Structure 1
């Protein structure tokens, strides 16, 4: 006989895959040492009292909504193809110390660990996301390889010479003092260390462009954008050699639209939406504003690769 909606089953915890552990964590269940709970219909579970949908802060409902849109552990639209483009040039392997700046819910760091068997330290400004990342990592049995830390990128203070590789995906566009932040990232890098960043920037337009001003109003935290050539200059002054500055706006926009189209297709096909649907719609307002600014030509996304030059002995 098939399982009823909301039916709970017991299975050995040793067989719980990461994706299922993340799902159970979202739904508020605790994994016991030898047994676990599996909920066959997550949408029939009680609704969290998170108040009205908002993109300010990271309530549990908001976390669920972005994971619904962008995948397990993801707070931003970084599909696996984009993860590969950001990390493949870095030559990551299990012998290197890797840092992610703006680790969100840890999905990208988990992907790096699984693909390259690498140790990853994630730095994130939001304490709720840090707590959730560490809890989910513990539940997945990966605490030996993945650690997440609370930080303020305006006052970033990493351990000097602690990383071979660092990457950041749409994590630094709200930092006001970019020069100081880049200098601290450089101080964190070991000799010949590599830094890859993807972020919102401008090229050839004023920062008070009407489309940008409209977008600023939608962001939960005020953006402080750089002109792409200014970003290159600041990274160079910090001590990096910059060899790539690639405009990826069209690709980025297409990925965002695809994520929302796939969600719309699921709901139109009869998938339940309920409580989370309102949160997804609120998240959609934020991402619509970002895409609209890109379509105006004012906002762009650039992928920049920089490295620490070898020391001259």
Structure 2
């Protein structure tokens, strides 16, 4: 999130593109409707699944956009690899299935326009990132105080790749739009 704030400020959008962490009970966040919400691999970390879709819809103006990339669960596939991936999270991930995500968004009024499986591209980016990191290690040794953290990161991304490869999780890109406002009620 800090990187998004930095990039927004660098582009001169600090006041135009507000970046905040979503807390379901944050009244300050709910005060102003938004034109768009972008979520990057975050829904699986939210425990209150029943409220999340309604809250997202309530935060957006009519005809506004919800854009997200999200890890989704595939029942019956890669269960062991998915469990190993989940074991590295602070709290147990609560992954949605694609149909469950579509249904939850549709139920509160979203029109799901895109739900594309981006697993292949995501795995390629992941491998490329690990490869680039591996090339830097001989040139710039990892500081002693960072070694444990770096090893955890490598393990996390290796388990993520294994779960994606086994089909236990997928990476989807979702684009949904809130309903248009009713002109008869204006």
1:17-166 aligned at under 5 Å gives the runs 103=1, 106-112=2-8, 114=10, 117=13, 119-124=16-21, 151-153=22-24, 155=25, 157=27, 158-166=29-37
- For the structure 1 residues 213 and 278, does the alpha-carbon distance in structure 2 shift closer, same or farther, using more than 3 Å as the test? closer
For the residue of structure 2 that corresponds to 1:173, the secondary structure is helix
In structure 1, the partner of 2:68 is 197
Work out the CA distance in 2 between the residues paired with 1:110 and 1:206.
Answer: 41
Normalized against structure 2, the TM-score is what?
0.85
- Unpaired segments of 5 or more residues in structure 2? none
Contact preservation (8 Å) 1:156, 1:184:
no
Deviations 1:47-94 (A, max 9, x none): xxxxxxxxxxxxxxxxxxxxxxxxxxxxxxxxxxxxxxxxxxxxxxxx
Deviations 1:6-62 (A, max 9, x none): xxxxxxxxxxxxxxxxxxxxxxxxxxxxxxxxxxxxxxxxxxxxxxxxxxxxxxxxx
Contact preservation (8 Å) 2:72, 2:170:
yes
Contact preservation (8 Å) 1:179, 1:235:
no
Normalized against structure 1, the TM-score is what?
0.53
Aligned residues: 180
- For the structure 1 residues 207 and 283, does the alpha-carbon distance in structure 2 shift closer, same or farther, using more than 3 Å as the test? same
Work out the CA distance in 2 between the residues paired with 1:166 and 1:310.
Answer: 16
In our comparison, the structure showing a higher alpha carbon Rg is 1
- Unpaired segments of 5 or more residues in structure 1? 1-102, 125-150
In structure 2, the partner of 1:175 is 46
Task: Point out which structure has higher relative CO (alpha carbons under 8 A, 6+ apart).
Answer: 2
For the residue of structure 2 that corresponds to 1:122, the secondary structure is coil
Deviations 1:122-160 (A, max 9, x none): 333xxxxxxxxxxxxxxxxxxxxxxxxxx534x455325
Q: Does 1:303 align with 2:173?
A: yes
* Higher alpha-carbon deviation: 296-305 or 270-279: 270-279
Work out the CA distance in 2 between the residues paired with 1:112 and 1:251.
Answer: 26
- For the structure 1 residues 160 and 167, does the alpha-carbon distance in structure 2 shift closer, same or farther, using more than 3 Å as the test? same
Divergent runs of 4+, >6 A: none
Q: RMSD across aligned C-alpha pairs, in angstroms?
A: 2.2
